Structure 1
């Protein structure tokens, strides 16, 4: 019986066994950095870095001067933060002007650091808007005019437990209905996600009222007559108040999902995915739906009558038969 080994492997093993410089016989020193042993005094003694650019030095010098020139103003007697000053959240020993009993007035230049951080960019933007207005002579596009006259709100919900397949029927159910009617539909729905959709509709309705001023009724002194309109899906509805909020669009979006193990027979496992879905709604007023109805009626009214043989000049005719 013969043993077949490479000669270089045998030589390496022999050197490792009989060599006195083996790694387990001789001490091994690891090199490590000792930069953290420096004292804090060495850092302080280092000269500050200076920039070679004169523009940078001038900018830093002006910035330091501006910081030192900012003086914090006091609070007026009618300020809503007066209680915080009494409790010590805001210091009471504010600087006072000579000859004045009250605190120093707030300096607009100091407040501009937070309110208007980029004054040059703001002036350029205002100039650009003025030039655009002069070029168009104050005329607005149809989209801009509609946005000025009609209100809308886009509201996206948080992730709701459930897949897109389960929430799409609920989104289709509330589309085209008024917000109050959609809330009633979700209140009596047997679906599990209907409760979350109902809460989101209530939140979106409140946001539309507070942020956009929708659904507040007609302006005092003006009256509106009930009108029968036809929606884009062919339904006939009666509108008594043009400011009534309705759900114009509703769609779902896929969110994050979590995974868990489903233990099966014979030592097998499956991966379960617990999905989440978000719901986005667009709320508008009945004024928009009335405009869409009038545009469709006007388009049908201006439609030309179809004629089987229209009276038009004959062109590209031959004086003899093709065959």
Structure 2
């Protein structure tokens, strides 16, 4: 077996070959594997101190071990680190930090809570006088307001005209809220989609804020009753707390602006109308009361006669004039 050594290396003297570390480098790995010392691993020498002062300063400031990041926690470099919600401090710590508790001064908040005290006192005095004069009796309108529920809701401005939205308002008037939603769901009108979203919002608002439509849960559903509507149609009411649309009307909104580019460089200015729809929701108990009132009024009505029933007197043969 022969070794491949360059000719220029063989031309050098033996002393140079034995002392030159560059020649031994190709043999060093091979020789270390065959010696006893090559079987053991040598300890790594520590890193030398960098000569660059900037690097030394960076290594001093750099943390040796990175802090463990908890899942759902914020990192140390996050801008929201100061706003992180930590453990709640105790009452002693809060008292020590905040000091004595400040008592609110009503005079400071009077500008927001009671901006016009004179008019408020005048209105309260007027209401007391009215209550005394009527001896605590309520008017018919107030009695209805206190005993029956209703909810008024106005929609956002819809990009359509009054001429197009009016038929939809007339279509849902008098129907129950569920029937009106079904009508708008299967309607071919473009604005029906916006009316449908508003009806669903008005229904949810009436249930949550006014407590309407909860007769089945509260046990006030009542028995089935057949009533007569204003237009003479008959209707079977199965739930006294059912929600229906008593009124629906359309209101004009602002006008938008758009451009209609025509031939020969002409531009026409378009005015795009915006319209809103408002609805008043009531319970079926209101229609039952109105039906009973119409029946009572019809029962009190007297029989109509063409001429009064009285004797004929002072008859003459000729005219008096």
Of the two, which has the highest radius of gyration? 2
Q: Is residue 2:153 matched to residue 1:155?
A: yes
Question: Equivalent residue for 2:17?
Answer: none
Alpha-carbon distance in 1 for matches of 2:251, 2:142: 28
**Count of residues in Structure 1 that have an aligned counterpart in Structure 2:** 230
Name the SS for the 1:304 alignment partner. coil
Question: Equivalent residue for 2:187?
Answer: 189
Alpha-carbon distance in 1 for matches of 2:143, 2:200: 29
Question: Equivalent residue for 2:222?
Answer: 224
Question: Equivalent residue for 1:319?
Answer: 316
Given the alignment, which residue of 94, 98, 112 partners 1:94? 98
Alpha-carbon distance in 2 for matches of 1:198, 1:162: 15
1:258-313: per-residue Cα shift (whole Å, max 9, x none)? 23222223444433222111001111111111111111111222221222333135
Question: Equivalent residue for 2:232?
Answer: 234
Segment of structure 1 superposing worse, 197-206 or 114-123: 114-123
1:114-135: per-residue Cα shift (whole Å, max 9, x none)? 5445556544443332222111
Question: Equivalent residue for 2:254?
Answer: 256
Structure 1 residue 183: Cα displacement: 0.8
Instruction: Indicate the RMSD between aligned Cα atoms, in angstroms.
Output: 3.0
In structure 2, do the counterparts of structure 1 residues 123 and 183 end up closer, same or farther at CA, with 3 Å as the change threshold? Answer: same
Question: Equivalent residue for 1:204?
Answer: 202
Segment of structure 1 superposing worse, 281-290 or 304-313: 304-313
In structure 2, do the counterparts of structure 1 residues 306 and 180 end up closer, same or farther at CA, with 3 Å as the change threshold? Answer: same
Alpha-carbon distance in 1 for matches of 2:86, 2:197: 36
Name the SS for the 2:246 alignment partner. strand
Name the SS for the 1:257 alignment partner. strand
Structure 1 residue 321: Cα displacement: 1.7
Structure 1 residue 151: Cα displacement: 1.3
Alpha-carbon distance in 2 for matches of 1:321, 1:193: 73
Q: Aligned ranges for residues 13-162 of structure 1 at < 5 Å? A: 93-96=97-100, 103=101, 106-107=103-104, 109=106, 113=110, 114-118=112-116, 121-162=119-160
Alpha-carbon distance in 2 for matches of 1:119, 1:85: 45
Question: Equivalent residue for 1:178?
Answer: 176
Q: Aligned ranges for residues 303-314 of structure 1 at < 5 Å? A: 303-312=301-310, 314=312
Name the SS for the 2:317 alignment partner. coil
Structure 1 residue 239: Cα displacement: 0.6
Alpha-carbon distance in 1 for matches of 2:274, 2:119: 42
In structure 2, do the counterparts of structure 1 residues 313 and 197 end up closer, same or farther at CA, with 3 Å as the change threshold? Answer: farther
In structure 2, do the counterparts of structure 1 residues 94 and 271 end up closer, same or farther at CA, with 3 Å as the change threshold? Answer: same
Alpha-carbon distance in 2 for matches of 1:287, 1:217: 11
Name the SS for the 2:304 alignment partner. coil
Structure 1 residue 232: Cα displacement: 0.9
- The answer as to whether partners of 2:221 and 2:240 remain within 8 angstroms in 1 is no
Question: Equivalent residue for 1:42?
Answer: none
In structure 2, do the counterparts of structure 1 residues 85 and 270 end up closer, same or farther at CA, with 3 Å as the change threshold? Answer: farther
Alignment TM-score, normalising by the size of structure 1: 0.63
Question: Equivalent residue for 2:76?
Answer: none
Structure 1 residue 95: Cα displacement: 3.6
In structure 2, do the counterparts of structure 1 residues 265 and 232 end up closer, same or farther at CA, with 3 Å as the change threshold? Answer: same
